[in-house]
Chains A and B, each alone.
Chain A
Amino acid sequence: MTMDRLFATPIISVLLCILLLSGCGQNTQPLPVLGSFNQDFSLINQDGQIVTLATFNDKIYITDFFFTTCPTICPIMKTQMTRAYEAFVDNPKILLLSHTIDPDHDTVEVLHDFAQRLEIKTSKWQMVTGPKSIIYPLAKNYMLEVVESSKAPGGYIHSGSFCLIDANRNIRGYYNGTDSAEVDQLIKDIGRLQGEK
Chain B
Amino acid sequence: MKMRQLLLLLIGVVLLAAPITAPATDDGGQQLYQTHCSRCHGIDGQGLRRLYPVLQGSSYFGQKLMQLPCIIQNGLTGNIRLQDGTYNRTMPGNRILDADQIARLMRYTSQLATGESAATTTITSEEVAHLLQQCQ
Contacts and interface: CB of A to CB of B under 8 A. Distances in A.
Given A78-B48, A116-B50, A118-B49, 14 more contacts: A71-B92, A72-B39, A73-B39, A79-B39, A82-B49, A117-B49, A117-B50, A117-B89, A118-B48, A118-B50, A118-B51, A119-B49, A119-B50, A153-B92
Interface of A: 69, 71-73, 75-76, 78-79, 82, 114, 116-119, 153-154
B122 interface: no
Contacts of A69: 90, 92
B90 A78 contact: no
A130 to B, nearest CB: 22
Contacts of A116: 50
Contacts, number: 32
A114 B51 contact: yes
Nearest to B52: A75
B39 A76 contact: yes
Contacts of A72: 39
A107 to B, nearest CB: 15
A75 B48 contact: yes
Given A73-B39, A76-B39, A82 B50 contact: no
A76 B51 CA distance: 12
A82 B90 contact: no
Contacts of A114: 51
A114 B90 CA distance: 12
A71 B48 CA distance: 14
B131 interface: no
Contacts of A117: 49-51, 89
B40 interface: yes
Nearest to A79: B48
Interface in B4-27: none
Contacts of B39: 72-73, 75-76, 79
Nearest to B51: A117
Interface string B111-129: 0000000000000000000
B33 to A, nearest CB: 14
